[in-house]
Chain A
Amino acid sequence: MAGSNLNNTHNPPLWLLAELTYSCPLQCPYCSNPMDIASYKDELSTDDWLRVLREARKMGATQLGFSGGEPLVRKDLENLIKESRDLGYYTNLITSGVGMDGERIAAFKEAGLDHIQVSFQASDEELNNFIAGTDSFQHKLEMARQVKIQGYPMVLCFVLHRQNTDQIKDIIELAIALEADYLELATTQYYGWAKHNQEQLLPTKEQIIAAEKVAHEYQEKMKGKMRIFYVVPDYFEDRPKPCMNGWGNIFLTITPDGTALPCHSARIIPGLELPNVNDHSIDWIWNDSPDFKKFRGYEWMKEPCRSCDEKEKDFGGCRCQALMLTGDASNTDPVCSKSPNHGKLVEDIRRIEANAKQNIIEKPLVFRNMRASKKLITSTGS
């Protein structure tokens, strides 16, 4: 164990998210990548990644997620998987399935990949391809089948939002038809592109209540056959999610250019120094960098979090959400009903809902691609 850990009370980074690239053949408008993806052209080399993986593993990281963008775009993925598995990581591939074929899945298996999660955009071809911005549905079905054929349990992920939440029954039936072992019904989180497109993505309360009912019925019905995970969007709750299980507590993201972040969205928080693995060791970044200390523990908290008896449960919620909705990342996440800004969030949701019911579209849906990113960078001057 690294010497500097002995004097600290915090955990080592248990979860390493390796965002290998921002390139992606899909254009999902709910993508959580930053909107200025076009500004980051540099990607870490294979050797850089191997060094990052070795250093984090030595500190105690066990879970490793290969993500992106679309991680399949990286030609060295097989190599990175093999090295990671040899280091003792539990390796998760989080993918759209586009860029994969039976042969490549076999190569991943050979390299020791533990788990593949394939995402879908909808239960029918038309909506799936519209949301993904590419004709990918049939290929995804084939990849889901291939994953199973090659001896992996099938883990499917559907990201839910206003446009597909009403399909939940068909989505679950599709998962059953594909003989999925796990089904993740992931609610859109409003970061990056999703935040930009929120007016068109946020489901209505009625949609959520109906979807929740269907999800719970199937959870009961499929007990022992398929595990279904369903989480209500936090905007509709009155307590915040324990985001990242606390800042700098277990989670470490490395972006394609080597920037180390306490969460994949943290780049938006002003005042961070954004340490890069090209300049610093993972040990220094995790234990000594100002960024990872900034919201670690409870000292940084303001009221109502500071004196709250639930702070150890939810860590004050999400720093990025606090920033986006209140202008200050050290405020209480306004999802919390104890936050003085909670009323404003509720009002916002009501306004979006009212617009949704009348089909008022204030902004067009912006698909996530480099062209749109460049345009947004130019228009905001950032």
Chain B
Amino acid sequence: MRCDGLDGDLLGLLAESHGLNARVFSLLRLQLLQGLAALGPDGATYRELKAALEVSDGALYANLNALIAMGYLEAEKVSVENKELESYRITTAGAGEWERVRDWLCRFCGCGGDHDAAP
């Protein structure tokens, strides 16, 4: 029997999760927030996001719009080699939410993952 569990921390973490926006917890939304947070005000174009994430137009567009509606991303038109492209960057609110989610996930995986326990 293992007695080194972190139940106290785990319960605290679970309670803390209520302060997070559950609507960002989908794989694609997390990938978008992570990718765009790293690029700050420069952002990335739609075509760059699509190529890197390898997702359908429908899924990408719907999730970008969802994050824009939450106030976490903003879109702008940019021009590259005379082509007008849609570019997306993270907002201050988006960067803040991503920080909270990332911090929480790191701690959650660190103390909640009893992966070496016998089945």
Chains A and B come from one and the same complex: no
